[in-house]
Chain A
Amino acid sequence: MNSAQIVSLLIQATYFVAAVLLIMGIKRMSSPVTARSGIQWAGVGVLVAVIATFFHHGGDHGLLIENAALIFIAIASSTVIAWYSGRRVAMTAMPQMVALYNGMGGGSAAAIGASALLGFAALVGAPKFVPFQPQANTSQVVLAVVGALIGSVSFTGSLIAFAKLQGWMDKTFRFTGQQLVNGLCFLAAVVLGALVVLHPQTHTIVLFFGAALLFGILMTLPIGGADMPVVISLYNAFTGLAVGFEGYVQQNVALIIAGTVVGAAGTLLTRLMAKAMNRSISNVLFSNFGAGGDAAQEIKGSLKPIEADDAASLLYLAEKIIIVPGYGMAVAQAQHKIWELSQQLIKRDKDVKFAIHPVAGRMPGHMNVLLAEAGVPYDLIADMDDINPEFPNCDVAIVIGANDVVNPVAKTDKSSPIYGMPILDVAKAKQVIVIKRGKGTGFAGIENALFYQDNCRMLYADGQEAATKLIAGLKAVDGGGGH
Chain B
Amino acid sequence: MIDGFLALYLFMLAAFTGHEIISRVPVILHTPLMSGSNFVHGIVLIGAMVALGEATTPTEQIIGFVGVFLGAGNAAGGYVVTERMLEMFKSSKRPGSKQDGAKP
For residue A157, CB closer than 8 A to chain B, the reply is no
Interface of chain B, helix or strand or loop or mixed?
helix
User: Shortest CB–CB separation between residue B37 and chain A, in angstroms?
Assistant: 5
**Cβ-neighbour of A264 out of B14, B35, B77 (below 8 A):** B14
Could you jot down 25 A-B contacts, CB within 8 Å?
A25-B36, A25-B40, A26-B33, A26-B36, A29-B32, A45-B43, A67-B64, A81-B73, A86-B76, A86-B79, A101-B73, A115-B60, A239-B38, A239-B41, A243-B47, A248-B7, A261-B21, A262-B37, A265-B33, A340-B100, A347-B104, A356-B27, A363-B34, A372-B88, A375-B99
**Cβ-neighbour of B89 out of A32, A75, A101 (below 8 A):** A32
User: Shortest CB–CB separation between residue B99 and chain A, in angstroms?
Assistant: 7
4 A-B pairs with least C-beta separation:
A377-B92, A111-B67, A264-B18, A86-B80
When the two chains form their complex, are residues B14 and A260 in contact, meaning their CB atoms are under 8 A apart? yes
When the two chains form their complex, are residues A108 and B90 in contact, meaning their CB atoms are under 8 A apart? no
Of A1-9, A46-54, A433-441, A446-454, the one contacting chain B is A46-54
Name B residues whose Cβ lies closer than 8 Å to a Cβ of A.
1-4, 7, 10-11, 14-19, 21-23, 25-55, 59-61, 63-93, 97-102, 104
For residue A383, CB closer than 8 A to chain B, the reply is yes
Given contact pairs A67-B52, A89-B81, enumerate 16 new A-B contacts (beta carbons under 8 Å).
A23-B17, A26-B37, A35-B86, A49-B46, A58-B54, A75-B68, A98-B35, A98-B38, A105-B70, A244-B11, A244-B14, A266-B18, A356-B28, A377-B90, A383-B27, A475-B104
When the two chains form their complex, are residues B53 and A67 in contact, meaning their CB atoms are under 8 A apart? yes
With a cutoff of 8 Å between Cβ atoms, the chain A residues found around residue B72 in the complex are 74-75, 78-79, 82
When the two chains form their complex, are residues B52 and A70 in contact, meaning their CB atoms are under 8 A apart? yes
A270 (CB) vs chain B CBs: closest residue? B34
Most buried by A among B4, B37, B49, B70: B37
When the two chains form their complex, are residues B27 and A358 in contact, meaning their CB atoms are under 8 A apart? yes
Given contacts A39-B39, A86-B76, A340-B101, contact A365 B52 (CB under 8 A): no
A474 (CB) vs chain B CBs: closest residue? B104
B78 (CB) vs chain A CBs: closest residue? A101
For residue A256, CB closer than 8 A to chain B, the reply is yes
User: Shortest CB–CB separation between residue A71 and chain B, in angstroms?
Assistant: 5
**Cβ-neighbour of A112 out of B18, B39, B47, B97 (below 8 A):** B47
A67 to B75 alpha-carbon distance, docked (Å): 20
**Cβ-neighbour of A82 out of B10, B49, B77 (below 8 A):** B77
Given contacts A57-B53, A252-B50, A262-B40, contact A236 B34 (CB under 8 A): yes
A244 to B30 alpha-carbon distance, docked (Å): 22
Given contacts A82-B76, A94-B85, contact A77 B69 (CB under 8 A): yes
When the two chains form their complex, are residues B46 and A265 in contact, meaning their CB atoms are under 8 A apart? no
User: Shortest CB–CB separation between residue A202 and chain B, in angstroms?
Assistant: 9
For residue A100, CB closer than 8 A to chain B, the reply is yes
B25 (CB) vs chain A CBs: closest residue? A30
User: Shortest CB–CB separation between residue B72 and chain A, in angstroms?
Assistant: 4
**Cβ-neighbour of A108 out of B44, B54, B61, B102 (below 8 A):** B44
When the two chains form their complex, are residues A111 and B48 in contact, meaning their CB atoms are under 8 A apart? yes
When the two chains form their complex, are residues A261 and B101 in contact, meaning their CB atoms are under 8 A apart? no
Total interface residues on A, CB under 8 Å, equals 128
A243 to B7 alpha-carbon distance, docked (Å): 15
User: Shortest CB–CB separation between residue A244 and chain B, in angstroms?
Assistant: 7
A66 to B60 alpha-carbon distance, docked (Å): 13
User: Shortest CB–CB separation between residue B86 and chain A, in angstroms?
Assistant: 5
When the two chains form their complex, are residues B64 and A111 in contact, meaning their CB atoms are under 8 A apart? yes
With a cutoff of 8 Å between Cβ atoms, the chain B residues found around residue A246 in the complex are 44, 47
A244 to B98 alpha-carbon distance, docked (Å): 41
Given contacts A118-B63, A262-B18, contact A18 B25 (CB under 8 A): no
With a cutoff of 8 Å between Cβ atoms, the chain B residues found around residue A343 in the complex are 101-102
A409 to B85 alpha-carbon distance, docked (Å): 34
A178 to B82 alpha-carbon distance, docked (Å): 36
When the two chains form their complex, are residues A375 and B80 in contact, meaning their CB atoms are under 8 A apart? no
Interface residues of A in 4-62 (CB under 8 A from B): 15, 18, 22-23, 25-27, 29-32, 35-36, 38-40, 42-43, 45-46, 49-50, 52-54, 56-58
B103 (CB) vs chain A CBs: closest residue? A340
With a cutoff of 8 Å between Cβ atoms, the chain B residues found around residue A118 in the complex are 59-60, 63
A368 to B64 alpha-carbon distance, docked (Å): 39
With a cutoff of 8 Å between Cβ atoms, the chain A residues found around residue B99 in the complex are 375
A276 (CB) vs chain B CBs: closest residue? B27
Given contacts A240-B41, A243-B41, A381-B28, contact A50 B36 (CB under 8 A): no
User: Shortest CB–CB separation between residue A309 and chain B, in angstroms?
Assistant: 18
When the two chains form their complex, are residues A65 and B70 in contact, meaning their CB atoms are under 8 A apart? no
Most buried by B among A77, A236, A365: A365
With a cutoff of 8 Å between Cβ atoms, the chain A residues found around residue B42 in the complex are 46, 101, 105
When the two chains form their complex, are residues A56 and B53 in contact, meaning their CB atoms are under 8 A apart? yes
